[in-house]
Structure 1
């Protein structure tokens, strides 16, 4: 177990011992029990630490209640052996237990809809989460592993050749030692853009429809993976893909349905296009993601459309009445 993970787990174990003492005291309240239930459900490591804390507490109880007045030699030998075993267990628990390896502890980070969040990881790497995104981070002695569960994230990875940095997103694994890259995961594809250094993208799943098993991406290169294959492209400037960090969406002849799909990532309102003529329109410009409603209004004005409310959570985009 590395030093960072060991320290985190020691803190969890200390909290577990405090909960054992609290729950076994005469002064425990119903509020204490409710707070304990919430703590126990926060993470799997809390349950494991609680099991070990209860076992340690029981070992202490055995030593404390060893009889001291035993008349028969046989009984005295039996209790002496029990005491020695209990004492040995106690020594192992107190002095060796924090050093024993355990399952790596994962930490989850997420952003709400419409929120952009920056997280400093324990190894010195920095993560920027776009709207409605979730990652799970697990560190071991020989690697740093991230699962991108949903959304879009930009990573600035702290160099460490002895501990590669892996990100699993959909059916793709992105590996870097020290670099910066952006990943956008949707239902059908994984979009990887390298802004600094080099990353390797490899295939996690097994399928005959994919044309690539691995691809090395350089700075300013972009790779979109999907079930029908991988699409690699290069650009002298990837700032358009990174515009979300500035709270902007840069559109260059973007089909209106694709733009609407992006705006819906930042708000609860569903935007419906029923007219094929409206769906065929394209948009160019810079939109403000922090103000999706105002951006939609600006689109409607520029394309001569009208916004018709259908419910509290949906609107219809139509051609404006002449």
Structure 2
């Protein structure tokens, strides 16, 4: 699977492969190795599984087709589905699945374009099949599906900045945690860490909901506004973006911490770490941290924290670094 949208040739190749697997898996001599290979193919792209399931439904048609009067059995007199029938079934499947895909598109059930993107150790710029531009921060992952009635993005993890192409009749919906952001043409940033989500709208307008199951479109966001929510929140918290907001500093490779308590600073830091840093208690979490840091060097920041803060490092049983505040000595009388 590639990052670019599927071409007609790629759709045809998926159809042909699905017909092949439909034939082989119903053959008496299908091997265990072939079944493993099929599972790898099926899991490689959502449309693979859909097309195969569609073929299984149509396979019954082949069972009702006329069969030759005599079929040469293999050893041990085990019955085998005639290859003529298998060929007809594959042909029927090859014709029917594109029709099913077309019907699924018209019903709004299936996308006509699917893309998956990851940014690991470098910031990455990508273009979605609708023309929207996305900048992915380190350690980020998202998928894009273009449906007939909407454009849908799922932010699996990390952070992304979106410049959405304007199409009022084809809304752009981003899902993060249990919430969603609905826009048409606008520019906005979405940060996600574990169950926390923060949305910064730069220009345009949008609707934000913290729970996709709730009735309604959500709360309105305008330029220079921010929404925050956690998984399970009934509604997001909306506020004006501070004039000195540094949430987009990552696009320049920086993390800016403006005298934040460790309870607020650590989620911003931990987003880049393989082992999140913990705080031992409330007193430690209330210690403040500031500064400008390179997002690629945050592992070294953790080791240096005892040099700039009244803390020392330990590790919990899972191996996570734990910050502990140094007890203040009472002044001598």
Does the pair score TM above 0.5?
yes
Q: Does 1:156 align with 2:158?
A: no
| Separation in 2, partners of 1:266, 1:188 | 15
> Which residue number corresponds to residue 38 of structure 1?
40
Match of 1:261 among 263, 267, 275: 267
User: Structure 1, unaligned stretches of length 5 or more?
Assistant: 68-86
Q: Is the alpha carbon distance of 1:213 and 1:166 closer, same or farther for their aligned partners in structure 2, counting shifts above 3 Å? A: closer
Structure-to-structure mapping, 1:69-218, within 5 angstroms: 98-99=98-99, 100-102=102-104, 103-105=109-111, 107=114, 109=116, 111=118, 116-170=123-177, 172-186=179-193, 190-202=197-209, 204-206=212-214, 213-218=218-223
| Separation in 1, partners of 2:236, 2:188 | 21
| Separation in 1, partners of 2:150, 2:202 | 22
| Separation in 2, partners of 1:31, 1:311 | 41
Q: Secondary structure at the match of 2:148?
A: coil
- Please give the per-residue CA displacement for 1:176-222, whole angstroms capped at 9, x wherever unaligned: 22222112245665321023333333564449xx9x9531312x322
| Separation in 1, partners of 2:146, 2:25 | 32
Q: Secondary structure at the match of 1:15?
A: helix
Q: Is the alpha carbon distance of 1:267 and 1:47 closer, same or farther for their aligned partners in structure 2, counting shifts above 3 Å? A: same
What TM-score do the two structures reach when normalised by structure 1?
Answer: 0.71
Match of 1:288 among 276, 281, 294: 294
> Which residue number corresponds to residue 17 of structure 2?
15
Q: Please say which of residues 121-130 and 269-278 is displaced more in the overlay.
A: 269-278
> Which residue number corresponds to residue 47 of structure 1?
49
| Separation in 2, partners of 1:98, 1:273 | 55
Decide which structure has the larger Cα Rg and report it: 1
Deviation of residue 253 (structure 1)? 1.0
Deviation of residue 92 (structure 1)? 7.6
Q: Secondary structure at the match of 2:277?
A: strand
Q: Secondary structure at the match of 1:313?
A: coil
Deviation of residue 316 (structure 1)? 3.0
| Separation in 2, partners of 1:276, 1:54 | 58
Q: Does 1:249 align with 2:251?
A: no
| Separation in 2, partners of 1:92, 1:17 | 9
8 Å CA contact 1:288–1:295 kept in 2: the answer is no
- Alpha carbon RMSD of aligned pairs, Å? 4.1
| Separation in 2, partners of 1:90, 1:282 | 66
Deviation of residue 304 (structure 1)? 4.5
| Separation in 2, partners of 1:294, 1:27 | 57
What TM-score do the two structures reach when normalised by structure 2?
Answer: 0.69
User: Structure 2, unaligned stretches of length 5 or more?
Assistant: 70-87
